[in-house]
Amino acid sequence: MGAAAFWRAAWEASVADNPRWEDAEADEAFWSDYAPNYDERSPLAACATDLIADLRSLVPADGTLLEIGSGTGAFTRLLAPSLSAITCVEPSPAMRQAFDAAWDHPMRVESIPTDWLAAPDGLRADVVLCANALYRTVDIAAALTKMTQAARKSVALVQSVGRPYTSPLKIVENGYAWERERADALSDVLQALGSNYERRDYQVRRPDGESHVTLLTWPGIAGP
């Protein structure tokens, strides 16, 4: 089975246990409850100092950012000081509201209130960032390819690793269970797409303990 087919099969095998993956209303019900306290309960960006430094180094001076699934803006706020324009694709009204409430930078952010694959094809930025926002995406190859097409310089994908922050992808085939961390499955898909990606793994100390996160970066192909 190919890497994108594995992603799809694992997504389809687990969606019954995770109805909000395919049900936008259920996802919004979840975020309505969680969004006001997201930054406190999920402080990855605030704790991942080395990862943030590496993300900053990807952005050219006065560069532009397109962030997919920006949530409350925990990553966006940390990157904003070196940017000249920011566009966020974020489908959740509750998350967009939390973003606006926490936004503390003079720059106006362009907000596109939809899923990534439904977003306009012409979006462009120097850096495209997506952090832990691919859980509702079945066609992973299409989503990653669209990121590559939108980025002038780089795509950066941040993926938490290990429970309780992220559950691995799993399928059972012919009595065998195949399990893969999402970061590994994403690396597999990038490899299958022929992408020249780099992978960095970080240990992040959160208030509730040690955690791991992966950064996958690869070159964009958008013209100037």
Residue number of the CB atom closest to ligand SAM = 71
Q: Which is nearer to ligand SAM, 157 or 171 (CB)?
A: 157
Closest CB to ligand SAM among residues 26, 107 = 26
> Under the rule (CB under 6 A), what is the footprint of ligand SAM?
31, 44-45, 68-71, 74-75, 89-92, 95, 115-116, 131-133, 136-137
In the complex, what is the shortest distance from the CB of residue 168 to ligand SAM, in angstroms, rounded to a whole number?
A: 16
Which residue's CB is nearer to ligand SAM, number 45 or number 183? 45
- C-alpha span between 99 and 183 (Å, rounded): 26
Report d(CA 91, CA 165) in Å as an integer.
21
3 or 157: CB nearest ligand SAM:
157
Nearest distance, CB of residue 206 and ligand SAM, angstroms: 13
The 8 Å CB, 24+ separation contacts for 88-96 are 88/112, 89/114, 89/115, 89/116, 89/119, 89/123, 91/24, 91/27, 91/115, 92/27, 92/28, 92/31, 92/35, 93/28, 94/28, 94/31, 94/32, 94/34, 94/35, 95/31, 95/35, 95/38, 95/70, 95/71
- We find the least distance from the C-beta atom of residue 172 to ligand SAM, in angstroms, to be 25
Distance in Å, CB of 182 to ligand SAM, minimum: 12
